[in-house]
Amino acid sequence: MPQPTVEQFQRVKENFWRIWNYPNCIGALDGTHCVIEKPKNTGSVYFNYKKEISIVLLELVDTDYKFITVDVGAYGRNSDGGIFRSSSLGQALANGTLNIPTPKSLPLLRRNRPSFPLTKNTMRPFPGNALENNRDNKIYNYRHCRARRVVENAKFNLKPENMDTIILATTVLHNFLRNDTCYWQPGELEDTNTPKGLNNLRRVGGNNPREAFIVRKNVKQFFVSNGSVPWQWEKAFTARST
């Protein structure tokens, strides 16, 4: 899979804004547990929180459900956050070698914000205890989870002997077979009463510098002001109450 370029990230960013109404986003990030047969003499290193034997595929996905870049091979028992920090993707993002476009202002605002932000470059929803009686946080989570659905629809389960090679080959084949029609369109997803990831959010550990919280706060303020969309108020609160 080729190294993503600034131009590629720029196209992804434009599409996230055009299709999913999420600004300055260059990809949806998630970790997928790929179920495998337990290798011999490996103890519990592959045993994950779902009580399955797995290796982890870390994927960054664009608006067409294509893999931009992947990292595969981490043990199933490791957390997504730990895998991300030690991955080539996480390290490239941390040291500034990922070819991220120059930071741009949020649409209709003057302040500059990173393109792929909770470090300052990785966004995540507010945890459940921050949603109680907080309308703006609920709106942010709805808009965030709406945009990241693309990464939830680019997954698979395999039981290979040569796990890493097969999974990497499958991600390339997946991209090759994708056409211009998305599996799910924004209008279709709006009919869902409970957006995936909006409810039952749990706090994720990690080091979150003050700058990261400021980035998310500014995006939240954008979602409830100049960047609001007409249906978000009903959808965010309906999903939370069902």
Tell me the per-residue pLDDT of 16-41, one tens digit each, with 9 for 90 and over. 999 988 888 899 988 888 888 888 88
pLDDT band at residue 143 using 50, 70 and 90 as cut-offs? confident
* Rounded percentage of the chain residues whose pLDDT exceeds 90: 10
221 pLDDT exceeds 60? yes
Nearest-angstrom CA–CA distance, 40 and 38 = 6
Structure tokens that stand for 69 in this block: 């870049």
Does the pTM exceed 0.85?
no
DSSP assignment, residue 37?
Answer: P
**Cα–Cα distance between 84 and 86 in angstroms, integer?**
6
C-beta separation of 10 from 18 below 8 A: no
Most confident of 16-30, 90-104, 107-121, 195-209: 16-30
The pLDDT of residue 43 is above 60 = yes
- Flag the least confident range among 1-5, 58-62, 104-108, 200-204: 200-204
pLDDT for residue 113: 46
Q: How confident is the model at residue 73 (pLDDT cuts 50, 70, 90)?
A: confident
For the cut 90, the answer to whether the pLDDT of residue 2 exceeds it is: no
* Residues in Cβ contact with 235 at an 8 Å cutoff, skipping those fewer than 6 apart: 142, 190, 195
Q: Which residues contact 136 (CB under 8 A, 6 or more apart)?
A: 220, 221, 223, 224
User: Using 50, 70 and 90 to split pLDDT, how confident is the model at 13?
Assistant: very high
Q: Find, among 57, 55, 52, 53, the residue nearest to 69 by Cα.
A: 57
